[in-house]
Amino acid sequence: MPVAVLTDSTAYLPPDLAERYGIHVVPLYVVLAGHSGREGEDISSEDVARALSSRGQRVSTSRPTPGDFVAAYRAALDAGADRLVSVHLSAELSGTWDAARVAASQVGEHIVSVVDSRSAAMGTGFAVLAAARAAAGGADLDTVARVAREAAARTRTLFVVDTLEHLRRGGRIGSAAAVFGSALAVKPVLHVVDGRVVPLEKVRTSARAFNRLVQHVVELAGERQVSLAVHHLAAAERAERLVTELRERVPGLCELHVSELGAAIGAHVGPGAVGVVVSHVAPGTAPPSGGEQPPGE
C-alpha cells in the first residue's frame, strides 16, 4: 500500500530531493502588480524582491484552492499511490492547510491525512522529507503522518528581517506588532512558536541581529545531530556568511540546505531577510547523505 507525500510550495524543498522522493508540490498564488501567478512557476523570488524594493509596489499571497489539492491528490493516486499524506505550512499563517483538509474530505479522509507542520519554509520541508523517507521505507499512512508530526515538533525556525513592515502589512507577526509597536526600525530576531511568528530578541543593528541569530542556532543545536536549512531573500552574501559560521560552529551537522525564499514567504519578510531552520535528528536515525549537500562542500 504505497503512500505518497504532498506539500505546498512554501516548504522550499530542494528540487532534487522532491524529485528523488516523488514529493508532489502544490503552489500558492502570489499577486503582483494586479497579476496572480503560481509561486515558483509564474512569479519568482526575484520578481517579488524587485517589487518590494520599489516604492508603491504591493505584493500579496493567497492559498491554493481546494480544487488545486483535489487535482494533486487524484494525480498522485492515478500515479499508483493508495494513500496520501499532505504536509503544509502553519494554519496560523495561511489557509493552505484548511484548503487541503477540505480537499481531503472530498477525496476521502481515509485516503488522505493532512498534517499542519505548525511552521513554514524548511520547518515544513524537514517534516515532509521525514515523511517521504518513511514512506519510501514502506511505512503505512498512520506511521508516515506520525513521523511528519514528530519531525515538525523537533524543528525550530528563526530569522531576521531588515524591517517588520512587510510582516505587519500581511498580518503575519502576531503579537510582535504589539511588542514592538511603532518601533519598526529595530532589528528583531524572530521565531515561529506554535505556528505563529513571535519575537525572540530585540537588537539595535543588523550586525547584532545576525550574530545573535547564529548564537541562537548554535545553542539550539548543541552537540546533537541536526539538519539545517539556510533561507534568504535577495541576501545571498549574508546567507553564505551564515553557512560558513554554522559549518564551523555546529559540530553535529548532518545535512545543510541553502535556498532563496520563494515569492509567497518572501512577500512577508522582504528583501534582506535571512533565516535558519534547525531540525534535530531523531535518535537512532540519520538522513541519507547521497546527493544532498554535506557540511564540507
Please report the pLDDT score of residue 212 as a whole number: 95
**Contact (CB, 8 A) for 90 and 155:** no
| pLDDT category of residue 292 using cuts at 50, 70 and 90 | very low
Q: Could you report the per-residue pLDDT of 26-70, keeping only the tens digit for each?
A: 999 998 877 889 998 898 888 888 887 776 577 888 999 999 999
HEC string of 86-144?
A: EEECCCCCCCHHHHHHHHHHHHCCCCEEEEECCCCCHHHHHHHHHHHHHHHCCCCHHHH
Please report the pLDDT score of residue 170 as a whole number: 54
CA distance 118 to 278: 14
Between 211 and 185, the more confident residue is: 211
Residues 6 or more apart from 291 whose CB is under 8 A from it?
16, 17, 20
**Mean predicted confidence (pLDDT) in 259-277:** 87
What single DSSP character describes residue 9?
A: G
Q: Indicate if the pLDDT at residue 219 is higher than 90.
A: yes
| pLDDT category of residue 18 using cuts at 50, 70 and 90 | very high
| pLDDT category of residue 194 using cuts at 50, 70 and 90 | confident
CA distance 123 to 203: 24
Q: Indicate if the pLDDT at residue 248 is higher than 70.
A: yes
Alpha-carbon distance values, 292 to 13, 16, 254 (Å):
12, 8, 10
Alpha-carbon distance values, 85 to 22, 70, 142, 260 (Å):
12, 13, 9, 26
Please report the pLDDT score of residue 1 as a whole number: 53
**Mean predicted confidence (pLDDT) in 260-271:** 84
Please report the pLDDT score of residue 297 as a whole number: 37
Lookup: cell for 5: 507525500
φ, ψ (nearest 5 deg) of residue 123: -60, -35
Please report the pLDDT score of residue 195 as a whole number: 87
Neighbours of 16 (CB within 10 A): 11
Please report the pLDDT score of residue 51 as a whole number: 83
**Contact (CB, 8 A) for 31 and 60:** yes
Please report the pLDDT score of residue 293 as a whole number: 47
CA distance 93 to 109: 23
Core vs surface per residue 19-32: b (16+ CB within 10 A) or e: ebbbbbbbbbbbbb
Neighbours of 115 (CB within 10 A): 25
**Contact (CB, 8 A) for 146 and 126:** no
Q: Give this prediction's pTM.
A: 0.89
Q: Could you report the per-residue pLDDT of 147-174, keeping only the tens digit for each?
A: 999 999 999 999 998 767 666 665 555 5
